[in-house]
Amino acid sequence: MENLVYAIILLPLAGFIINGLFGKNLPKMFVGSLATLVVFASFVITTSLFFSFNNDSAPVVIKAFEWFRVNGIQVNFGFQVDQLSLMMVMIITGIGSLIHLYSIGYMSHDKGFYKFFTYLNLFIFSMLLLVLGSNYLILFIGWEGVGLCSYLLIGFWYTNEEYGKAARKAFIMNRIGDLGLLIGIFAIAAHVNAIDYLSVAQNASSFELDGTPIIFITACLFIGATGKSAQVPLYTWLPDAMAGPTPVSALIHAATMVTAGIYLVVRSNFLFVLAPTVQDGILLIGFLTAALAGFYALRQNDIKKVLAYSTVSQLGFMFIALGLGAYSTAMFHVMTHAFFKALLFLGAGSVIHAMSNEQDMRFMGGLKKYIPITHITFLIGTLAISGFPLLSGMISKDEILVAAFAKNPIYWVMLFILAAITATYMFRLYYLTFHGEFRGTEDQKHHLHESPTNMTLPLIVLAVLSVVGGFINLPHFIGHGHYAKLMDWLKPALTEESFKQMENTLSGVPFNTEMILLGATVLMFFTVWFFVRNTYVKKQKRALPEESYTGWEKLSAKKLFVDEIYNAMIIRPFEEAGKAALMFEKVILDPIVNFIGLGAADSGRAAKRLQNGNVENYVLIMSLAVGIVLIVNFLLK
């Protein structure tokens, strides 16, 4: 067990080291295969561990060594294997190896091939550290590691200045969240005198329910989560992060890294359950994020930007589930979202590959017959995220809707509208890309081709997962006593209070009501599908350039001018303050410093006249001085 866990973590690290040190001189095939195989090996080992765990298995903590001990707090470098971390590791290594495989094809013509795989392996290693660490500090190492990899990969094509700026934006936005997380960890250490999960969970009961300390701690942790998981107000980095190569968008900015915030909250359920105020805050932020991002996605023209905002919006859904206390629902949506969003991004990558690096949907259209495998898999992804009955996305999203209804029917209505918006922009994307006439150049049309097998294979696997992925956690009215397996599966990772809260939320809706709600969402899905199809296929509505939109469409295309507002409110004042500080330095500090320096030089230049090299002169001065001393001495007597 112990060795297996080490192997899971160290294999990607080994891949990173080998590729990083020697990759430049190794053949591309070897670099790509090695990077893919180490991640796949981790996945296989995880699967074997996964089957040795059941619903009752207690968490296994493996201590590698004592890291340090300060002021009575002992910090071990160790790993915690339980149902939650195993689930995350499964997603990371599983989706990760598929995306590695895909990247071999996607990046085959790139100069930085070995560098790309080095970064990817480092990312997998950091992410595993994040989810497997047995205390908050190791989580933080992984947290920073994935932030670094994200930065490196967003700016992978660093010769483009815009991409470099996007990378820096992501890095700085994340840093704000990281500060919150760090302060949260310090506060935990100060209050509980421990930072490993098990001890903190045990001592969490010493916190007063909804008292100031617990609210402060959970709020800080949540700020960390908003940074990494791109929630309001720190979400603007994620759409810009699409500057990176598409597999990166799929792996890091859709399937795994951005779910770290969800993981953090679920992992800290023993703290969040004590702070209902913060849970309500999470709910609010989740709603805001889901609504804003969904709105922006309606009128984006860049295929990856739509998917990026859709990711932000879906992350909002997950935080809504967390705010409702439905931890397993959030994790369920993390999993299904990982399947269909990775699929959609990889599909988009395949489209971009076929279109000779064109990302603007205005110049696509009619791709259905040129790239059939990509088309079918992309359609499955679209149906899954939009809520086609019994596909994975529908089942997990429905669970969130039911949980919301149990809390307050208003929440359900809001989520219902958000789900309708999701379906709207996804079908718009699908029809603009794959249906209608081809609108690109003749040159592009000539080059249209289906991607190679190592790119379509991950698409097919992910498409299958997107279809069947929901069945592991069927709603209770289908599974006859096997309902909501995930809830029982995650039970050991939750405290009793969290579990009780979750059970109340998830079973708070009577069967008949639930059926009606389900019927309503299905009806909504088909209505939206019909209308979008009508608009973009029958009426041949086209996407317009951003500038030519008016009214709400302009607001959507321009993202409510949030970037501009941030610019005006935060970045501008900083720049102005910088300029003011520069003026202060130039006008006040510089003269003072120069006066001191030049004064010393001038006085030295004046004093050097005394040293004229003439012995007589020295003797004269000496004699005079002695004379003066004698006279003064005489007078003072």
Interacting residue ranges for other proteins, rule: CB under 8 A: 608-616, 619-620, 623
Is 443 or 616 the residue whose CB approaches other proteins more closely? 616
Rounded to whole angstroms, the Cα distance separating 348 from 629 reads 94
Rounded to whole angstroms, the Cα distance separating 170 from 147 reads 8
Task: Confirm if 524 and 419 have CB atoms less than 8 A apart.
Answer: yes
Running DSSP on this structure, what letter comes out for residue 370?
T
Strand partners, 196: 135
Strand partners, 281: none
**First-residue to last-residue Cα distance in the chain:** 95
Secondary element (H or E) of residue 214 = helix 212-228
Tell me how far, at minimum, the Cβ of 637 lies from other proteins, in Å: 17
Rounded to whole angstroms, the Cα distance separating 112 from 91 reads 27
Is 587 or 615 the residue whose CB approaches other proteins more closely? 615
Task: Confirm if 246 and 348 have CB atoms less than 8 A apart.
Answer: yes
Is 48 or 614 the residue whose CB approaches other proteins more closely? 614
Residue with tokens 């989560």: 225
CA count, 13 A, side-chain hemisphere, 550: 0
The pair phi, psi for residue 475, each rounded to 5°, is -60, 155
Tell me how far, at minimum, the Cβ of 632 lies from other proteins, in Å: 18
- Residue 301 Cα distances to 544, 551, 608, angstroms: 8, 17, 75
Nearest to residue 397, comparing CAs of 411, 405, 385?
385
Task: Confirm if 307 and 361 have CB atoms less than 8 A apart.
Answer: no
Tell me how far, at minimum, the Cβ of 629 lies from other proteins, in Å: 14
Q: Give the number of other Cβ atoms within 10 Å of residue 450's Cβ.
A: 16
- Helix, coil or strand: residue 74: strand
Is 172 or 601 the residue whose CB approaches other proteins more closely? 601
Is 453 or 623 the residue whose CB approaches other proteins more closely? 623
Is 2 or 602 the residue whose CB approaches other proteins more closely? 602
**DSSP per residue over 232-290, as a string?**
TTS-THHHHGGGS-HHHHHIIIIISGGGHHHHHHHHTHHHHTT-HHHHHHHHHHHHHHH
Tell me how far, at minimum, the Cβ of 620 lies from other proteins, in Å: 6
Is 581 or 624 the residue whose CB approaches other proteins more closely? 624
Is 538 or 608 the residue whose CB approaches other proteins more closely? 608
Tell me how far, at minimum, the Cβ of 621 lies from other proteins, in Å: 11
Kindly tell me the burial class for residue 562, based on how many C-beta atoms sit within 10 Å of its own C-beta (0-12, 13-18, 19 or more): middle
Running DSSP on this structure, what letter comes out for residue 57?
P
569: CB partners within 8 A, 6+ apart: none
Rounded to whole angstroms, the Cα distance separating 443 from 365 reads 15
Is 560 or 620 the residue whose CB approaches other proteins more closely? 620
Estimate to the nearest angstrom the gap between the alpha carbon of 416 and the chain centroid. 25
Rounded to whole angstroms, the Cα distance separating 305 from 548 reads 18
Is 70 or 607 the residue whose CB approaches other proteins more closely? 607
- Say what the alpha-carbon torsion angle 227, 230, 236, 242 is, to the nearest 10 degrees: 120
Is 539 or 605 the residue whose CB approaches other proteins more closely? 605
Is 160 or 623 the residue whose CB approaches other proteins more closely? 623
Is 57 or 623 the residue whose CB approaches other proteins more closely? 623
Tell me how far, at minimum, the Cβ of 607 lies from other proteins, in Å: 8
308: CB partners within 8 A, 6+ apart: 238, 239, 241, 242, 249, 253
